[in-house]
Amino acid sequence: MSDKHHKAGHSVRDAFTSNLGMLAATLGSAVGLGNIWKFPSMTGTNGGASFLFVYLACTVVVGLPVMISEIMLGRTVKANAITTLRKLSPKGQPWGIVGISGVVAAFLILCFYTEVAGWVFAYIFKGISGSILTTDPTIASAAFADLISDPVQSIGWQWFVIIFVSIIITFGISKGIEKVTIKLMPILFLLLLVICGRSLTLPGAEKGLEFLFAPDFSKISGSVILMAMGLAFFKLSIGMGTMMTYGSYFKNSQNIPLTATRVVLADLLISLLAGIAIFPAVFAYGFDVSAGPSLLFITIPAVFASMPMGHLFAVLFFVLTAVAATGAMLSLFEVPVAYLCEARQMSRKAATLTTALLIMLLGAPAALSSSLTKDVKVFGMNFFDLFDFLSSNLCMPAGGLLICIFTGWVFGKDRFKAELSNHGLIKNEKVVDVLFFLIKYVSPLLVAIVMMNMLKVF
Ligand code: TRP
């Protein structure tokens, strides 16, 4: 029996066709630059294993319940994020705003995400030609500065990425997103394992493992907890309607809590593997683990240049990162595209084109923030940091908080239980009780504290 669903005036609504496809697409959204760029650099700068420990706690207590709620809300209505929230709102309550904030956040994230992804694609080619491979960190950082301070290259690589992702998006859900992520996820996993093998067999690798897995709890502080919570939101693609949009393509027979748990575990595994691929090598060659965001573009090439067969592994590493970023960008694109198609009656091609053009336009100031617009500061930040700040520190936590409140206090326990048990077909009452308690009381409280702190309320 097909789950596809007829909408007035539209032909059959596209959807994921298999359990594996749903898993691959959702995991593809979660796994991205967050795992390979943000996770290692933040773990590196925040004390290693103890940060990992806090991150794990945030994922279980907040990340998983919010992800499950979002997918569930999306599947209940089977529409884009804005329509979903509007339809579920009691009369006169403006919950649609949460969906709107999600669409805005998707644009903001895409503006800088496509730029970082552009650097990754550029590094594949520069890796092949060997121009970024040097063991000297000063030369490596000059090579990176060359790329980001050249307006033509910055914009060019960003557009390349936007066009690449747009092409996949125009093919739709089952023939585009699902087909591509089902192929990409195993490739990503395999490449990561190969690089882990290389990194672990380097002399002195144990130090890196110790850094990643032996916690020093004295390093946990308020700001570490806040950073970990923010990362959990970003990594799991929650708080802004991405999971709601993907949930709307889920089949009614899909076990949502189980799928979400698998996604969270697999996403965690991939982050850990990224850590295992990076830290032992960084320690083995005596580089600085706390390099921060430049870890990926300066330290990593230098680390690879230091090792036997490093040229090959460097290229593989950037291919892998590009693969991860692609799955994540597909999910970000789908949020506005789904909205434009369904609520603004655009064709999928027109919606994709509109989205792509808007990102090119809005993303240009971010792409140029190390060149032409580098002296333009808004609230003391360049455009790149501004978009990151507005989305990660404002839209996503606010969206996450409101989604918790909506699910816990408006949608309510009865419907929550009915939807997550597929109307009684799955026996998961106890688990769902715990999830509901988390989503109603615990998660919103934690997110509210994090948000106030991010906004420097205290
Ligand atoms: N989760 C992705 C990553 O780790 C990024 C991402 C995709 C995202 N969709 C999102 C982040 C929605 C926030 C919201 O790189």
Q: What is the distance between the alpha carbons of residues 21 and 15, in angstroms, rounded to a whole number?
A: 10
Query: φ and ψ at 6, to 5 degrees?
Result: -85, 135
Pocket test for ligand 1, best of 101, 109, 246 (most atoms within 8 A of CB): 109
Ligand 1 lined by 333 (C-beta under 6 Å): no
Q: Which residues contact 247 (CB under 8 A, 6 or more apart)?
A: 70, 71, 72, 73, 74, 75, 256
Ligand 1 lined by 30 (C-beta under 6 Å): yes
| CATH code where residue 409 lies | 1.10.4160
Helix axes 222-235, 49-58, angle to 10 degrees: 60
- pLDDT of 134 reads 84
Query: Structure tokens of 20?
Result: 């594996």
- pLDDT of 9 reads 43
**Separation of CA 34 and ligand 1 centre (Å):** 7
What is the CB-side half-sphere exposure of residue 265 using CA atoms within 13 A?
Answer: 7
Q: Which residues contact 190 (CB under 8 A, 6 or more apart)?
A: none
pTM value? 0.91
CB burial class (10 A; 0-12, 13-18, 19+) of residue 8?
exposed
For 234, the domain range is 16-454
Ligand 1 lined by 327 (C-beta under 6 Å): no
- pLDDT of 458 reads 63
The DSSP secondary structure of 382-399, one letter per residue, reads -HHHHHHIIIIIIIHHHH
Q: What is the distance between the alpha carbons of residues 233 and 195, in angstroms, rounded to a whole number?
A: 27
Of the candidates 206, 178, 192, the one whose C-alpha atom is nearest the C-alpha of residue 267 is 192
**Structural domain contains residue 232:** yes
**Structural domain contains residue 11:** no
Nearest-CA residue for ligand 1 atom 7 is 328
Ligand 1 lined by 34 (C-beta under 6 Å): yes
**Structural domain contains residue 171:** yes
Ligand 1 lined by 328 (C-beta under 6 Å): yes
Other beta carbons within 10 angstroms of residue 38's beta carbon come to 22
**Structural domain contains residue 29:** yes
Q: CA–CA distance from 165 to each of 118, 262, 327 (Å)?
A: 12, 25, 9
Query: Can you give the pLDDT of all 458 residues of the chain as single tens digits?
Result: 344 444 444 467 899 999 999 999 999 999 999 999 889 888 888 888 999 999 999 999 999 999 999 999 999 999 999 999 999 999 999 999 999 999 999 999 999 999 999 999 999 999 999 888 888 878 888 889 899 999 999 999 999 999 999 999 999 999 999 999 999 999 888 989 988 988 898 888 899 999 899 888 888 887 788 788 888 989 999 999 999 999 999 999 999 999 999 999 999 999 999 999 888 888 888 888 877 777 888 888 888 888 888 889 889 989 999 999 999 999 999 999 999 999 999 999 999 999 999 999 999 988 888 888 888 888 888 888 888 888 877 888 889 999 999 999 999 999 999 999 999 999 999 999 999 999 999 999 998 987 787 677 76
Specify the ligand 1 atom closest to the Cα of 332.
9
* Domain total in the chain: 1
CB burial class (10 A; 0-12, 13-18, 19+) of residue 343?
middle
48: helix, coil or strand?
Answer: coil
Q: What is the distance between the alpha carbons of residues 29 and 174, in angstroms, rounded to a whole number?
A: 15
**Structural domain contains residue 382:** yes
Other beta carbons within 10 angstroms of residue 111's beta carbon come to 27
**Structural domain contains residue 2:** no
**Structural domain contains residue 3:** no
What size, in residues, is the chain? 458
Of the candidates 243, 251, 183, the one whose C-alpha atom is nearest the C-alpha of residue 14 is 251
3-state helix, strand, coil in the chain (%, to 5): 75, 0, 25
DSSP, res 6: B
Ligand 1 lined by 154 (C-beta under 6 Å): no
Q: What is the distance between the alpha carbons of residues 150 and 357, in angstroms, rounded to a whole number?
A: 21
Torsion sign, CA atoms 363, 369, 373, 377: positive
**Structural domain contains residue 64:** yes
11: helix, coil or strand?
Answer: coil
